[in-house]
A and B are shown apart, each in its own frame.
Chain A
């Protein structure tokens, strides 16, 4: 049961954009804080790039939330 369900949850999604909006933070500012390029933040928000665990942990630290609250599995289209 668990295994068959798992196949449906294939895409990783995130509410990075929402979290940024709450903190009133630009992509550039977030990129600067965690030391990545602005393209990386943009690509993550567009779901074009799945970050490494290290990067996900850094982001969760910035927003003071657990990784699961920012990044989560989503149903594929």
Chain B
């Protein structure tokens, strides 16, 4: 069966490297406010924000540390490559596992978001939204690889 929209298997290891590097930087940033000083660059914001916490003007060059932006891109690009690169022996049964895992991950992602909506408020909810950007990919990757591992193990026991 032709599996459309999937990347070649060779991108998978590359995806893992980006994804894990992004996760490490992202977690360090979220928990310890870790920033790489060398990543202090000029950015060109499309939207301004005139809150009292920070004045960012739209369409004006301004300084910003892009550690978090880099981490976001690494997680998203790496995560997409890990999730949607073909397995070594991608076939119709694995495509079904893939689709079911995607449905499962979407449900779990939004169940978690509903619970967070009911229990987390104000600025803390901002953190929930940050994490929620990535959780659908994370849940999918965990579920898909777990089910693959389980079915592979069962076939191996034959």
Contact = CB atoms under 8 A, between A and B. Distances in A.
Majority SS of interface residues in chain B?
A: helix
Given A27-B158, A42-B158, A52-B1, A36 B151 contact: no
B92 A40 contact: yes
Of the four ranges (under 10, 10 to 19, 20 to 34, 35 or more), the interface on chain A belongs to 10 to 19
B121 interface: no
Interface residues of B, number: 16
Given A27-B155, A27-B158, A39 B93 contact: yes
Interface in A31-71: 35-44, 46, 49, 51-52, 54-55
Contacts of B91: 35-37, 40
Contacts, number: 45
A54 B155 contact: no
Nearest to A34: B91
B66 interface: no
Majority SS of interface residues in chain A?
A: helix
A41 B155 contact: yes
B9 to A, nearest CB: 13
Contacts of A43: 93, 151, 155
B96 interface: yes
Interface in B123-158: 148, 151-152, 154-156, 158
B96 A49 contact: yes
A37 B96 CA distance: 13
B113 interface: no
Contacts of B151: 39, 42-43
Contacts of A41: 155
Contacts of B92: 36, 40, 51-52, 55
Contacts of A52: 1, 92
Interface of B: 1, 87, 89-94, 96, 148, 151-152, 154-156, 158
16 contacts: A27-B155, A27-B158, A35-B91, A36-B91, A36-B92, A36-B93, A37-B89, A38-B89, A38-B155, A38-B156, A39-B151, A39-B155, A40-B93, A46-B154, A49-B93, A52-B92
Interface of A: 27, 35-44, 46, 49, 51-52, 54-55
Given A27-B158, A37-B90, A37-B94, 9 more contacts: A37-B89, A38-B89, A39-B94, A39-B148, A40-B93, A42-B151, A42-B154, A46-B154, A51-B92
